[in-house]
Amino acid sequence: MNKLIIIKYGELTTKKGNIKFFIKTLKKNIDCALEGLDYKIEYDNGRMFIFSNDLDEIEKRLRYIFGIHEIIIGYEYDSIDIEDLKKNLIELIKNKELDTFKVETKRSYKGYPITSMEVSRILGGVVLANAHGAKVDVHNPKTVIDVEIRFNKAYIYFGGESGLHGYPLGVQGKGLLMLSGGIDSPVSGYLAMKRGIRIECIYFESPPHTSDAAKEKVKSLVRILSKYSGYIKLHVINFTEIQEEIYKNISHEYLITIMRRMMYRISERIAHKNNCKIIINGESIGQVASQTLTSMSVINETIRMPVIRPVACLDKLEIIDIAKKIDTYETSILPYEDCCTIFVPDHPVINPELNKCVEYEKLIDWPLLIDKAISNEEVIKITKENENFKDLL
């Protein structure tokens, strides 16, 4: 008998054409996450099996991997003979408290002489005869006893824990996440990763108007997100000169609109340079003046690359719920100023006009300023290991 982890795949099974690529990518991601541990992986189109003496640690690390539907601790047997199955099940339930239960059998080996229903019935009888107080309940059992027969091996397990679902990271290529220190953008990054998109991040800072602490906070958020991907590249863009030029020369009600148009332009250039196919951000419809549909379209007009807004249609409370689940919330609410907040005008325009933006932008030499900002970018590679961010909390 081998104790092992069985992985049920997430939505992969619905993508028939890509299944091999998806499973290979998942396997690669799991190998990266399990680095340093001693283990062996076997897999087919339906399941992945992990053997190791360190299953607890492996289970912990699998909780951060997209593309997994369920993580199961189970038992593997070399015999599929029904008499052996009975004996093995009795051994497993010996020390188990069983109340209501049902046995569910799956045979991917169709040559097996007994039907699944019949195996369940026989093994159910064995449980009733050997577990004191156990009762069958096929509708709402406390324990489901799963039995799988796959060619020359049998597996028994008692349910599993839910994985992160989604697609394996990387199956969709890369996107560039506009990451501020707020609540929304880290959640957007997480949701994009869940669709299989590997991310790089871009952060606009405006020293001395924004502090080092604000930048550290963003690095901490990247570090938390990197738990789901191993590492993430962060591009830090010094936005001070652009912001000051806008502030000095352009009508203040258009400050935010123009500033965001510049952010989009820079993001698209950085995305192209780093093979990112899309931009991801944390805009949420109606949340602030720059997130009305008119604002969003006037801002979006500057670039051709698709912009994905995973939280666009979520309520703030729904976004906060996810932020808490993925552990970014406590860091996001630390009170360090964002470069958007320091230059916020009293009355930002809610329905900006495109032709006005174009006229205002003629007042500054933005192509030059953007070139300069991009050539001065700082690139930081962040992994989940360097956890010194705790000092900040």
Cα–Cα dist 244/364, whole Å: 11
Contact track, ligand ATP, 22-41, x by CB under 6 A: --------------------
Regarding 268 and contact with ligand ATP (CB under 6 A), the answer is no
CA dihedral sign, ordered 364, 206, 356, 282: positive
Question: Which strand (E) or helix (H) includes residue 334?
Answer: none
To the nearest 10°, report the CA torsion of 18, 20, 21, 23: 110
Cα–Cα dist 304/117, whole Å: 57
Regarding 328 and contact with Mg ion (CB under 5 A), the answer is no
Q: Are 257 and 361 in contact (CB under 8 A)?
A: no
Regarding 332 and contact with Mg ion (CB under 5 A), the answer is no
Among 200, 216, 283, 361, binds ligand ATP (CB under 6 A): 283
Ordered alpha helix ranges (H), the chain: 19-33, 55-62, 82-93, 116-130, 184-194, 212-226, 240-249, 255-273, 293-300, 316-325, 329-332, 339-342, 354-361, 366-375
- Piece of the chain touching ligand ATP by CB under 6 A; list 47-55, 106-114, 226-234, 288-296: 288-296
Q: Which does 184 bind (CB under 5 to 8 A by kind): Mg ion, ligand ATP, none?
A: ligand ATP
Regarding 67 and contact with ligand ATP (CB under 6 A), the answer is no
Residues 6+ apart with CB under 8 A from 40: 50, 51, 52
Q: Which does 143 bind (CB under 5 to 8 A by kind): Mg ion, ligand ATP, none?
A: none
Helix axes 255-273 and 366-375, enclosed angle (nearest 10):
50
Binding residues for Mg ion, rule CB under 5 A, total 3
| Closer of 105 and 291 to Mg ion (Cβ) | 291
Regarding 290 and contact with ligand ATP (CB under 6 A), the answer is yes
| Closer of 141 and 282 to ligand ATP (Cβ) | 282
Binding residues for ligand ATP, rule CB under 6 A, total 20
Cα–Cα dist 35/370, whole Å: 40
Supply the DSSP string of 255-297, one letter for each residue.
Answer: HHHHHHHHHHHHHHHHHHHTTEEEEE----TTSSGGGSHHHHH
Q: Which does 281 bind (CB under 5 to 8 A by kind): Mg ion, ligand ATP, none?
A: ligand ATP
Among 191, 222, 340, 369, binds ligand ATP (CB under 6 A): 340
Q: Which does 75 bind (CB under 5 to 8 A by kind): ligand ATP, Mg ion, none?
A: none
Residue 122 φ/ψ region, left for φ over 0, alpha for ψ in the -120 to 50 degree band, beta for the rest = alpha
Give min distance, CB of 242 to ligand ATP, in A: 12
Residues of this chain, 169-188, that bind Mg ion according to CB under 5 A: 180, 182
Eight-class DSSP state of 154: E
- Piece of the chain touching Mg ion by CB under 5 A; list 77-85, 163-171, 234-242, 330-338: 330-338
Cα–Cα dist 198/221, whole Å: 16
Among 183, 232, 266, 326, binds ligand ATP (CB under 6 A): 183
Among 10, 182, 196, 310, binds ligand ATP (CB under 6 A): 182
Q: Which does 282 bind (CB under 5 to 8 A by kind): ligand ATP, Mg ion, none?
A: ligand ATP
Regarding 204 and contact with ligand ATP (CB under 6 A), the answer is yes
Residues lying near ligand ATP in the complex (CB under 6 A) are found at 178-180, 182-185, 202-204, 281-283, 287-288, 290-291, 338-340
Which residues of this protein are in contact with Mg ion, per CB under 5 A?
180, 182, 338
